[in-house]
Amino acid sequence: MASAQVTGTTSERSHTPACTGPHSRARDWAEIQERMLVPLYQAVYERLEVGPATSLLGFGCRSGLALLLAAERGAQVAGTESDTELRELAQGRRLQVQEDPRTAQSVARSAHSLVTVFEQLQTTPSPGRLVAAAARRTLTGGQLVLASWGPPERCESAAVLEVAQRQAGRTPGRDPFALGAPGRLEGLLAAAGLRPAGGGRVTCPFAYPDLDSAVRGMLSTGLFDPAVAAAGSALVVKELEEALHPFVRPDASVRMVNVFRYVVGERVN
C-alpha cells in the first residue's frame, strides 16, 4: 500500500526564491501546502467511518495526500486531477488518478460509495457543474462531501488571500470564501439532487518553518494565479510577504489558524 508520507520537506526549499511556474507550484503543494488540510481529511474520514468497505473517488485530488490517508484506512481509492504536474505527482505515489472529472468513468469503478471534493470548489468557475458531475459518480445510497473555507472572520489567512483579489485586475479569481456562508454548500448538494446529511467545521492551522515556505505554500493553492497573471509574480510575492508579516513568530516560523467547513450529501436515487 502507498504511504501517506509527504514528499520532501519544507526546510529543504526554504532558502530558494519563491517561484510561480507550474512545476514549482505543484511541487510546493505536495511538499508544503497539502499537509495543512490533513485535519479536514481526517475529520471527514472519521465521521463517515472510511475503511475497507469504502470505495472513494477524490475529485480534484491534486497530488493525492487525501487519497493516501483513505487508503491507509483500507479504502479503495481513485482520483481525478486536471493539472498535469499534480496528476503526475499523484501517480508517482502509485495512485490511480485520471485527467478529467468529466471522464471519471475511466477509473476502476464508474460510481463510488464516497466522493470527495476537498479543494477544487475554491478555484472552479462552475461549482454547480462540478458538483453535478461528482453526484453522477456517487452510488445510490452513497455520500458526496464538499468542503470550503469557513467564514473569513474565523480564518487568519483571509488578510493574505485578499492580496489575490486586489491584484487580480479585470479577471479576478473566485472568492475563496464565497461558498463558506451558511447554506451555500448545502444548496449545491440540493441542486445536484442529493439530500444534505450534516457537516462540520474543522480547524486547520497553516504552519510554515519560515516566510519563504509560507509564500510558496500560499501560491501553490492556485488562488493567486489570476493575480500573478495580471500583476506579475514579483509584485504578488512582495505583497504576500507583507501580508504574512503579522503572522511571523519569534522563531521566524509562520502560523495562521483557519477554519474549513464541510457538508455531506446522500444520493437517495
Q: Domain holding 262: CATH number? A: 3.40.50.150
Instruction: Tell me the backbone φ, ψ of residue 113, rounded to 5 degrees.
Output: -75, -20
pLDDT of 239 reads 97
pLDDT of 11 reads 35
Closest CA to 125 of 37, 225, 220: 225
Q: Which residues pair with 138 in a beta bridge?
A: 112
Q: Could you give the CA distance from residue 213 to residue 111 in angstroms, rounded to a whole number?
A: 38
Over its length of 269 residues, how does the chain's per-residue pLDDT go in tens digits? 444 544 333 333 333 445 446 568 999 999 999 999 999 999 999 999 999 999 999 999 999 999 999 999 999 999 999 999 999 999 999 999 999 645 444 444 579 999 999 999 988 889 999 999 999 999 999 999 999 999 999 999 999 999 998 888 766 567 889 898 889 999 999 999 999 999 999 999 999 999 999 999 999 999 999 999 999 999 999 999 999 999 999 999 999 999 999 999 999 98
Count CB neighbours of 206 within 10 A: 23
pLDDT of 17 reads 43
Is 47 inside a domain boundary? yes
Q: Which residues pair with 233 in a beta bridge?
A: none
pLDDT of 94 reads 96
pLDDT of 100 reads 67
Structural domain count of the chain: 1
Is 167 inside a domain boundary? no
Tell me the torsion sign for CA atoms 24, 30, 31, 33.
Answer: positive
pLDDT of 168 reads 85
Is 222 inside a domain boundary? no
Is 238 inside a domain boundary? no
Q: Could you give the CA distance from residue 80 to residue 67 in angstroms, rounded to a whole number?
A: 11
Closest CA to 258 of 179, 123, 149, 178: 149
pLDDT of 246 reads 98
Is 6 inside a domain boundary? no
Location of C-alpha cell 526554504: 14
Is 28 inside a domain boundary? yes
Domain hosting 88: range is 21-152+175-206+255-266
Is 54 inside a domain boundary? yes
Is 143 inside a domain boundary? yes
Burial of 39 (0-12, 13-18, 19+ CB in 10 A): middle
pLDDT of 4 reads 55
Instruction: Tell me the backbone φ, ψ of residue 76, rounded to 5 degrees.
Output: -85, 125
N-to-C CA span, the chain: 33
Q: Model-level pTM? A: 0.88
